[in-house]
Amino acid sequence: MARTQKNFAPRKDELVQIALDIFLEKGYERTKISDLQKAFGLTKGGMYHYFSSKEEILDEVIDKGISEIIDSFRRELPNVPEEDRLLYLLFSESTNDFTNRLFQYASSDTGSIVSYKMRDQRIKAPLPLMTEIIKQYVETGFYTCDYPEEAAEIILLVAVNISDHTVWPIGDEKKQKNRIDNMLLIWENCVHPPQSHLDRLREIITNYYAQMTLQKDARTETEE
């Protein structure tokens, strides 16, 4: 019994990795709970020891993907120059294989429950770390901001929606530029950074979204 408890977390983590493989292969909607049970090599009762439903398995897959990327940011952050930390959190690419596969799957299955849940988690999960960074910036006088958490909320909401295209379809170059202008207006008015930081933000954000648009165009062409 003690042994079971001891192995519970690592075993569950293995199952979550297997579940992502199955979702990638069959698609989440088409995956049956019996497919997962078979892939896990567990009895029905054995599986319910770990998960109560297919949706709970999906939630655990997403949670693992998002947590791993946040954890790796948290580990890397001390090595990033202080003024770049917020940008690093928002605009650097993940190097984690599990997370990359999950992101790719979610963005290929637009309009599915997987893509909706992922978008929400991309807005919600980085919030504590981003709030911490803004609070540090306020302490050092780099930012001026009365409510760091709500500033982080709104910056994340807008940043993710500019890149996701579900709510805001991609639009032309001018539209994308106007959205970035609005995002920088919010940044400026919610946290009052120095002008040099705003200029740097504009450059990095513009390049990041331009590259994402190129990648999306390439994917769309491959699909056609």
- Mask: binding to a copy of itself, 128-157, rule CB under 8 A, as x and -? ------------------xx-xxx-xx--x
Q: Look up residue 95 and give its two tokens.
A: 């190097």
Q: Look up residue 70 and give its two tokens.
A: 């946040």
Question: Which of residues 13, 21, 71, 120 is near a copy of itself by CB under 8 A?
Answer: 120
Give how far the C-alpha of residue 159 lies from the chain's centroid of Cα atoms, to the nearest Å.
11
Toward a copy of itself, which CB reaches closer, 80 or 145? 145
Nearest distance from C-beta of residue 53 to a copy of itself, angstroms = 11
Under the binding rule (CB under 8 A), the answer on residue 218 touching a copy of itself is no
In whole angstroms, how far apart are CA 26 and each of 33, 36, 98, 151? 12, 11, 17, 39
Toward a copy of itself, which CB reaches closer, 102 or 125? 125
Which region, judged by CB under 8 A, interacts with a copy of itself, from 60-68, 81-89, 160-168, 213-221?
160-168
Question: Which of residues 7, 34, 43, 116 is near a copy of itself by CB under 8 A?
Answer: 116
Question: Which of residues 167, 172, 222, 224 is near a copy of itself by CB under 8 A?
Answer: 167
* CA–CA gap between residue 214 and residue 216 (Å, rounded): 5
Under the binding rule (CB under 8 A), the answer on residue 53 touching a copy of itself is no
Q: How far does the chain reach from its first CA to its final CA, in angstroms?
A: 54
Binding site for a copy of itself (CB under 8 A): 113, 116, 120, 123-124, 146-147, 149-151, 153-154, 157-158, 161, 166-168, 175, 178-179, 181-182, 185-186, 188-190
